[in-house]
Amino acid sequence: MRRAGFNVIYFGVESVSKNVLNYYNKHIHPEKAQEAIRNAKKAGMLVVTSFIFGAPVETKDDIESTIKFIKEARPHGVQVNILDCLIGTPIWDGLVADGIAGPDDWRTNHRIYDYPIASFTRGELERYVNDAYAAYVDGWKSMRGIGELFKVVLMNGTARRAVIPIALNPNTRKLISEKLRTFQS
């Protein structure tokens, strides 16, 4: 793909829990996702991944394992979402079939925490999302992470267009300088 001109790839990993992946009817394995991320990065592609928290079958351990995966896989970009129950999806159809969602709920209710099948409260899910983003940032706080980021910026034009303006922002430079000082201590 890289040789054909692609330089960004987006992986919908969603979770590293087999139980959660089965619930989403995703036929992927966390080990394969890790391998795909590693190979795409090796090829010089900018790697973005997405994850979803809040499946009714999801446990605290499932979410914590996914957060650990985010930190260790170190994708270049990450999107962490709370499960939306959207009309026309199997999840929505199940809510309607079970009498949990009404015919007009799609106008106002979308998030899993709006329904009694949710395993976590809104506050808990929002905390997990914040924890995931913090783990994502922590994954890059090493010389290896910084070197890898430098490599993708050198190899990938899209990465340069995304990263350089952010790096030139005075507020970003100040934050990076502060972080590097604490990193060196």
Q: How far apart are CA 160 and CA 167, in angstroms?
A: 10
Phi, psi of 56 (to 5 degrees): -55, -25
List pLDDT tens digits, range 15-63.
999 999 999 999 999 999 999 999 999 999 999 999 999 999 999 999 9
pLDDT given at position 182:
63
Least trusted range by pLDDT, from 72-76, 141-145, 177-181: 177-181
Instruction: Note the CATH number of domain 8-139.
Output: 3.30.750.200
pLDDT confidence of residue 162: 79
Domain-wise residue ranges, the chain: 8-139, 142-185
Residue 180: what pLDDT? 64
Taking a C-beta distance cutoff of 8 angstroms, is the pair 15, 58 a contact? yes
Three-state helix/strand/coil letters over the chain: CCCCCCCEEEEEEECCCHHHHHHCCCCCCHHHHHHHHHHHHHCCCEEEEEEEECCCCCCHHHHHHHHHHHHHHCCCEEEEEECECCCCCHHHHHHHHCCCCCCCHHHCCCEHHHCCCCCCCHHHHHHHHHHHHHHHHHHCCCHHHHHHHHHHHHHCHHHHHHHHHHHHCHHHHHHHHHHHHHHHC
- pLDDT of 2 above 90: no
Residue 47's nearest CA partner among 129, 141, 162, 142 is 162
Nearest to 75 by CA among 32, 45, 30, 31: 45
pLDDT tens by residue, 141-173:
888 988 898 888 888 988 888 777 766 777 766
Q: 72-95 as b/e, with b when 16 or more CB fall inside 10 Å?
A: ebbbbebebebbebeeeeebbeeb
Percent of the chain with pLDDT over 90: 57
Structure confidence at residue 1 as a pLDDT band (50, 70, 90): confident
